Amino acid sequence: MGYRPRVLCRSIVARRALALLFVLGTTLLGLMWPSALQPAYALNVSLHVKPERRQEFLDCIRNNQQGTLETEELAKEYLFGEDVSLPNTFHFHEQYEGRDGFNAHAQSPHFAVWEKFAATDPFTKSPEVFFYAERRAPGEGKAECKGRYCLNVRMGIKPERRDEFLSCIANNQRGTLESEPLALEYVFGEDENVPNVFHFHEQYVDRKGFDAHTKTKHFAAWEAFVETDPFSQLPEVSFFQEVA
């Protein structure tokens, strides 16, 4: 009779100790993996605007951008620019803290204004929107600047080459951010709906920054990997200049 209560007592103490360890472990994990490094919910977008609707579009999208960045706590980035080769084609990169962040954005007053404009047939073709969870490299982000030279990329990888691809692209990402002074951002992630399709967003201070990137050892390693036929869908690359 006297034995079981002691076992029960020890069991309670053990459970409390485990609970404390769990809390401490979670706290330490949060310190080791700060929220800035956790995957962001991102989207890359392409919009093809009718020339006669260009100024209307720019006014509306700047209002959406301003409202997003100034009033939405879960919005992390909202950048857009014009394609360097195709006038009136615009590319976007947006980041939110989780899908809830994007859902909150989609319910905002400024997004409602954008939706109203989009319903007035301002496009020459349907918008292209791709959602993905970012894989962001550790390290502090670099200072932003105006007029950034950017690219959005989409590519499909053969399932059997997935691990090789992730290793190679992580090396390229790390080398870009750690050794290139003109590189501002390099993020990528897997499509929300299509396995082994990946989306990228890169930012450089200017075109010279991207040109310097293509002359690095880590980019050469990526190019060597490309030569081994790893793609199920060839890369689609959109270069664009940020609209200041």
**Residue 230 structure tokens:** 């790893």
Read off the pLDDT of residues 16-25 as tens digits, 9 standing for 90 and up: 443 443 334 4
- Output the pLDDT for position 35: 43
Rounded to 5 degrees, what are φ and ψ at 91? Answer: -120, 145
Q: How far apart are CA 213 and CA 178, in angstroms?
A: 12
The number of residues in the chain equals 244
Q: What is the average per-residue pLDDT within 139-163? A: 87
User: Does the residue 30 lie in any domain?
Assistant: no
pTM across the whole model: 0.82
User: Does the residue 32 lie in any domain?
Assistant: no
39 CA to centre of own chain? 8
CATH code, domain with 183: 3.30.70.100
Q: How far apart are CA 64 and CA 170, in angstroms?
A: 33
Domain of 128 in residue numbering reads as 38-242
**Residue 99 structure tokens:** 């899908």
Structurally, the chain folds into a number of domains equal to: 1
User: Does the residue 103 lie in any domain?
Assistant: yes
- Output the pLDDT for position 158: 98
User: What single-letter amino acid sits at 87?
Assistant: P
User: Does the residue 28 lie in any domain?
Assistant: no
User: Does the residue 1 lie in any domain?
Assistant: no
3-state secondary structure of 31: helix
Q: How far apart are CA 3 and CA 186, in angstroms?
A: 62
User: Does the residue 150 lie in any domain?
Assistant: yes
CA dihedral 132, 138, 142, 148 (to 10 degrees): -30
**Residue 219 structure tokens:** 């980019």
- Output the pLDDT for position 137: 66
Read off the pLDDT of residues 43-66 as tens digits, 9 standing for 90 and up: 999 999 999 999 999 999 999 999
User: Does the residue 182 lie in any domain?
Assistant: yes
User: Does the residue 20 lie in any domain?
Assistant: no
> Which band of pLDDT confidence, cut at 50, 70 and 90, is reported for residue 87?
very high
